[in-house]
Amino acid sequence: MRFRRMGRAAPPSDPDLRGGLLAVVCLFFILLPCLMLSTSLYRLTSLPFRLPGASADASAAGPPEQPSPIEALQLRLGAGGMVLRAALRTSDVTAMAGQGVWNETPLPDRDGRPDIAALRARLAQIHRLDPAFLKIELLPDDDTPTDHLVLVMDAVREDQDGALFPEITLGSAAAGAAP
């Protein structure tokens, strides 16, 4: 004889999984449109870059570039003329960056005006050492006339053969007196 307890039903012999599956399907039908509406439709972009040693064909990349033989270039404009200072990298293998040798070339005024021909000749020599180096720092004294400064800036920028040092930084001679 079988007795049944009160309030409890007998477990079903064949469980029905349709109810649980229906709940999951309904969740996706509600969740999927919400996610689609909340995402932005902008295309994701990335910036392409290449690491020095990460290329697939490393042998085609060649050896690393050598540093410029010119570390810094300064032109000081004073009352008696100009002084061109070039920090040139030594060829010593133990030398580090910033240990260049400063070469100074005095360029006296001619007839009370800057000697542009001598300046361009010396800058052309320096430019031939490294044509990719384009920076020069002009350091005028406080009493340098404006027309002299403009004349020198034009001469430094280019000569008859093309561009020399078009990236000009203007500083103060009192602040840039020592390297």
Select from 59, 60, 74 the least CA-distant residue to 135: 74
* Cβ(100)–Cβ(92) below 8 Å: no
Look at residue 179 in the predicted model and tell me its pLDDT: 46
Number of structural domains in the chain? 1
Give percent above pLDDT 70 in the chain: 68
CATH, residue 81: 3.30.420
Q: Which residue has the higher pLDDT, 78 or 12?
A: 78
Q: Does 29 map to a domain?
A: no
DSSP E strands: which ranges in 5-52?
Answer: none
Structural domain of residue 107, as residue ranges?
Answer: 70-170
Q: Does 103 map to a domain?
A: yes
Q: What is the pLDDT of residues 102-140, one digit of tens each?
A: 889 899 998 888 999 999 999 999 998 888 888 999 999
Q: Which residue has the higher pLDDT, 94 or 163?
A: 163
Q: What is the pLDDT of residues 132-151, one digit of tens each?
A: 888 999 999 988 888 999 99
Look at residue 177 in the predicted model and tell me its pLDDT: 52
137-153 CB burial, b ≥16 within 10 A, e <16? bbbbeeebeeebeeebe
Look at residue 41 in the predicted model and tell me its pLDDT: 65
Q: Does 141 map to a domain?
A: yes
Give percent above pLDDT 90 in the chain: 20
- How far lies 152's CA from each of 58, 81, 96, 119, in Å? 45, 11, 32, 9
